[in-house]
Structures are given as structure tokens and as C-alpha cells.
Chain A
């Protein structure tokens, strides 16, 4: 067990809607990252938050945004959902270049 929890476990949305995914950790860590994993692919880095500020971003458009709270929990928000946003969304505690522990993920289906 990594101590990283995510909610909800599954979610179904329709195109154009907005979604918020949540991540928390039993042991607080000042760095959290979010990844998107399409079916049959490796996870792709979305962004990283360090002390409540975004300090790294992958090749994802601005409609993907996030927040990190003082208790180190985090949210991923996706606006104007597209069919290609259907994927497993993973959060991880730990800094890039150091050990990162992943949560179980939220599976999002966009219809």
C-alpha cells in the first residue's frame, strides 16, 4: 500500500462537461503529480505541484488544471471534456527524479 487514495474510482461524463478528480495521502508530501494513462499505454505526465504551486507541466492543454491544498491533498480539473480524455488518471506523491508512489487511479469514461 502506498497510502495514496483517489476518488472517485470510476466516473462517466459526456462531451463538453467538466470533471474534478481528487487525491490524498496518509503521509503528507509537498509534491504531487498527475498522470493520464490511456488504455494499453504508459502513463503520461500532466503536471506537478510543489507547495501548492504548479512547477512542471507535460504536453497537456490549459483545460487541464489542478490545485494542491495546505494538507497536500490535490485536485485535477478537466474542462470541456473530449472523447480522448477517457483514461485512467493517476496521482503520485513524491518529486520528479525521486521515488514516486502512485494511487489506484480514477477511471474516466467520456461519452
Chain B
């Protein structure tokens, strides 16, 4: 089955700086890669996703890049703000599959004022 590795487990950055979280996946058939933000006591919130036919996608301060050959994808957050502090999860799945999302173990992002 699919295996998703996520690094780092904790990331502390100064407010206004950029943050980068990296994930690798094992199943070359995976073709859908969402990123979720989870705040304390809440369910995961989708923040951006990318499909395997696209190399990069951007939404305001958030961007995701995908390298299919190397089987890794990354989340980039620019101009970080205090409200960006949360746990971020990457995930992978196959379109049309019934195996659900396979998640990484999460990155605790801390924005220092």
C-alpha cells in the first residue's frame, strides 16, 4: 500500500518568513495530493491540493509543488502570520480508488512573533 513520509515534524519560523514542508510517497499510481491544516480541537481543513498532471499550484500565500519522478511534493507558505500556526498534513491517494487518503504524520508549524 501507499506510504507517505513527512518532514519536519516541527517547524518554527519568524513571522513574515517562509515555511516549507516536504512529503514523499511510495506508490507511483497515486495521482492526487491534498494538504490539510488542523487546529487544536478541530477536523482537518483542506488548504490546497494538486493532481499529478500539474507541477505547481498557487493560492495567494500558499503554493504546492509536485515532482512525480522523485515522488515528492512540498507545501510553501510565504509571509507567515500567527494564524498559520497549526498542524499541517500531506496526503496521497489514487483517483477512482477506494483506499482512502494516506496521510503523513504531520508538521507542527509554530510562527514566532
Contact = CB atoms under 8 A, between A and B. Distances in A.
A42 B89 contact: yes
Interface residues of B, number: 29
Contacts of A97: 31-32, 93-97
A99 B106 CA distance: 19
Given A99-B49, A105-B43, A55 B103 contact: no
Decide if the interface of chain B is mainly helix, strand, loop or mixed: loop
B7 interface: no
A42 B106 contact: yes
A41 to B, nearest CB: 6
Indicate the member of B4, B44, B46 with the most A CB atoms within 10 Å: B44
A96 B94 CA distance: 7
B103 A56 contact: no
B22 interface: no
Contacts of A105: 42-43
A98 interface: yes
A97 B99 CA distance: 9
A90 B41 CA distance: 12
A35 interface: yes
B42 A56 contact: no
A66 interface: no
Given A43-B44, A102-B45, A33 B100 contact: yes
